[in-house]
Amino acid sequence: MTLLVENVSTYHGKICAVHQVNFHVEDGEIVSIIGANGAGKSTLLGTISGIYKPSEGKITLNGKNISGLPAYKVVRNGVSLVPEGRQIFSSLSVKENLILGMFHQYRSDRKTVRERIEKMLNMFPGLVKHLNNPAGNLSGGEQQMLAIARSLMSNPQVILLDEPSMGLAPMIVKEIMDIMKKIKNDLGTKVLLVEQNVKAALNVADRAYVMDQGHFILEGKALELLHNPMVQQSYLGKSSGEGEMIPAK
């Protein structure tokens, strides 16, 4: 069971935001993509999730080609995106936001929808007391929990998370990263995590890729990259000697 991205490039107009990217996410893995703002990370997630169409390359999930499918079909094939900035529906209740994560089944299988809501509330108990309240009244951390729960409602094989720690306090960031482990271990869902918080991302991931100007420039086990001198100097603000580059394949 693999998410496989092969030689994918994506353009915004004449600008190549993602260039010839190759990587994979296996069952039982959290894979992180780190890099500076503007490196192409969000465009890559948007390409996988069907927001953007790749100009070349192929994306497959468990051998099925999902390249260029519209976003709703990508969701139905088992890939779900938690977008940057959460993008919850502030005027709708927490429950209604959760239902929207499984709206394609709401009329045909309401029993399963109710069961999925119950499962999400067990996983995110902080949402229980807010279930019938407007989602806009939640704190930033609670809104992020809701965005993740909404994405999990479709029971995806792969969840894509775009900057889930953005704007959150360190204690909440730790809680979000712990949830990544629960998603992998308790739900068996593959996790692809895009983050500018390099330390948090590498501490939770199994493997990681470093992205710069649309390319992968490093790859390896996450903890090895965390201690790589080049990563420490470029992304963690630590002075060091030159690190050994592990070229992205």
Q: Which CATH number fits domain 1-78+158-249: 3.40.50.300, 3.40.50.10860, 3.30.70.20, 3.40.50.1000?
A: 3.40.50.300
DSSP 232: H
Residue in 149, 207, 181, 204 with CA at minimum distance from that of residue 3: 207
Residue count (the chain): 249
Residue 241 confidence (pLDDT): 44
What confidence tens digit (pLDDT) does each residue in 133-143 have?
Answer: 999 999 999 99
Q: Is the pLDDT of residue 107 over 80?
A: no
Look at 26-40, 58-72, 103-117, 194-208 and tell me which has the smallest mean pLDDT. Answer: 103-117
> CA 158, CA 7: separation in Å to the nearest integer?
20
- Kind and range of the H or E element at 19? strand 15-26
Q: In what order do the strands lie in the sheet with 207-212?
A: 79-82, 158-162, 190-195, 30-34, 207-212, 215-221
Average pLDDT of the residues in 23-37: 94
Average pLDDT of the residues in 91-105: 90
Residue 98 confidence (pLDDT): 96
In the chain, CATH 3.40.50.300 sits at: 1-78+158-249
- Percent of the chain's residues with pLDDT above 70: 93
Residue 77 confidence (pLDDT): 94
Using DSSP bridges, classify how beta strands 207-212 and 215-221 pair: parallel, antiparallel or unpaired: antiparallel
